[in-house]
Structure 1
Amino acid sequence: MSQPVPPQLVVHCRMLHFGWLPADPEAVAATVPPGLRLRDDRRVFLQQYVVDDAVQTSGLDSYSATGLGPELDLPDSGAARWYTQHLSSSPLAQAQAAVRGVPAGAGRTTIEITGQALVAVAEVDGAALIRTTARIGRQVTRVYRGHTRYVSRLGDRLTGACCPYVFEPVTPFEIESVEFLAPDHPVFALRPANPLELLWGFYSPRSSFALPGSEGWSRY
């Protein structure tokens, strides 16, 4: 398998990361191929992040990205994730995702903070797709560290990547709203229920992770 860029390390980017119950569970289920089992509640994850400087990466330029999709329940390893969309401002990051079977596209993500108010917006061709508003504090009292498994499809095969991470979430933290603004875009199928039913989440101004992590082929 050709790789246009080698594995990358990203350190201390600004990341908003959370999950919810969807408005249309069957639409979420339709985004994954047969043979992969979703969580019973069809929960969805979203990550919006900004890498402000190229020196925060091992070989990428500064960039921003939004990725989302349903969480999986695999018989061999339990929890995993499936990207339905990964929108990045970096052509190198897009190519790295696409060669591993992730639905990658061009997009821009901004995270603006004024006082305790945070607004994160994902855009494609200048049109806003997802806008998240939150209230955040500045205190960091704990560290999240571990590995997250992602599954993607390349041709007739499925591949799994185990991605290490270290996140430093702030407290307090509260999501106020999540708006999906483009009904004609594929991401709209993953919109949250109304009223919003959040399952977990955080904002971390110092998020570090590897792309893509360790890899292995499997038919699951």
Structure 2
Amino acid sequence: MHDQEARKGIAWRSRIAGTAAAAAVLVAGGAGVVALTSPSAGAQGQSVTASSQSLTARVERLEDIEEIHQLKARYFRFVDEKKHDELAAQFTPDAKIETDGITWKSPQEFASTIRDLTGAAPSAHSGAMPEIEITGPDTATGIWSMEDLLTFPAGPDAPPGHHGYGQYHETYRKVHGKWLIDSVLLTRFRMDPLENWTPSEDSPSNATPSKAAAGN
């Protein structure tokens, strides 16, 4: 009898211990679910999402700045390559352009005047140390240090050549996903005169300009 009761007691205690262990597992699992759905876990997920969004915004900003760098590089290249139609296309249609105190009515007028005044005269333009700031989803500002060399075919009415230094203060606008120059203010800090050149018989040249060259 005592042995039978003892065996029953052991079995009962085992059942209680097993039930307690199962309960512990359930409680632990429930605690895990609670932890996953707790406000702190949600906040951590939001933090990861915000961090991802911040990284995306930073990458887009760097891409925009690089596109503006290339936009300005094309501007200089088209001036020196005498590609005046392509030059005008780097601006918004209603861009405000002021160079050396001259205000131009349109990008087309600006590019055409450069074509008429400089003709085939060789030039070299460069920009450096850009300070680009993205001011909105489709807007930006920039400051460039500039340097240019320009000489004209020698003649009685030829304007003097120069080696100039100055700054571009510009704004940019993204139109249909493409960055364009929206305004330009060119100021010069120094202008060193350069002698004009006499083209050889094989060199193409336009008629000698009759007025001073416009800044470009």
TM surpasses 0.5: no
The structure where helix makes up a greater share of residues is: 2
Give the TM-score normalised by structure 2: 0.29
TM-score w.r.t. structure 1 length?
A: 0.28
Highest relative contact order (Cα 8 Å, sep 6+), 1 or 2?
A: 1
Bigger radius of gyration among the two: 2
Structure with the higher strand share, 1 or 2:
1
